[in-house]
Amino acid sequence: MFSKSALNAKRNIKGNSFANFVIWFNINNLKVMNTIKINRFYLTTFLSFITFVSGICQGNSVKYDLNSLSENNKLEVFNRKVTTFSEKDKSGIRFSKNENDGIAWLKHVIFSNGIIEVDIRGKNELQQSFVGIAFHGMDNNTLDAIYFRPFNFQSTDSVRKIHAVQYVSQPDFSWEVLREKFNGKYEKAIVPPPDGTEWFHVKIIVNYPQITVFVNGIKEPSLIVEKLNTRVSGKIGLWVGNNSDGDFANLQVMSLE
């Protein structure tokens, strides 16, 4: 039999052991909870950073798979038929030939100030190849465009040669109006000239009111003009002129906003 004092001592030992266990459990549980909170903090921070970086990439520069856009009905096509193609290192869309201008607008895309880059291929056939980019479009008749005449790229005719790249502001300033009123200002030669039957790379910088055009990575611009209207944003699309077809690939648009 235990004495009364011994029993009390035993109870105290048990009580202290339980208290110590509770303290140990709470301390370790607190450590675990703090670790979880810290890990959650770092995970949240990391995910926020990734989201932020992704937003910059997606918000400022977008590469458009024209082949995919066409196949998934993401192009609004006017006065042409558009088909897809894949060859060597390029895939994109091909316009059919038809009278008057044709456009493939990018659905739900609004462009204001920015950089447009694209690969284009036309033909070296006199008055049969007009290929370019339409932007700040309100509709199929109200738009700005930069376009090219591949059949004039390497012409030995000095007049035709300076009609290689053109700016227009439809409907008020067509190429006919601009050539009559401002001869040589809104169309220029491309130096050095690309091959009229091969792919060429275009870079168009729109920073209202100025438009600057570069071809094939040449440092010197082929054309610098100021817009002839007050539109500062609108639709963006691929453009072909009267009786022209044309191929387009590797479209990339970067916002400067």
Distance CA 41, CA 32 (A): 14
- Do 70 and 200 meet the contact criterion of CB atoms below 8 Å apart? no
Please tell me the predicted confidence (pLDDT) of residue 6: 46
Please tell me the predicted confidence (pLDDT) of residue 60: 85
Q: Describe the strand order of the beta sheet including 143-148 as a list of residue ranges.
A: 75-78, 102-111, 234-240, 131-137, 143-148, 165-170, 187-188
Segment 89-135, tens digit of pLDDT: 999 999 999 999 999 999 999 999 999 999 999 999 999 999 999 99
Please tell me the predicted confidence (pLDDT) of residue 193: 98
Distance CA 213, CA 231 (A): 19
Q: Which stretches in the chain have pLDDT values below 70? A: 1-59
Q: Which fold has domain 65-255?
A: Jelly Rolls (2.60.120)
Distance CA 88, CA 219 (A): 27
CB atoms inside a 10 Å sphere around CB 50: 10
Domain ranges in the chain are 1-61, 65-255
Segment 74-97, tens digit of pLDDT: 999 999 999 999 998 999 999 999
Please tell me the predicted confidence (pLDDT) of residue 257: 85
Residue 188's DSSP bridge partners are: 165
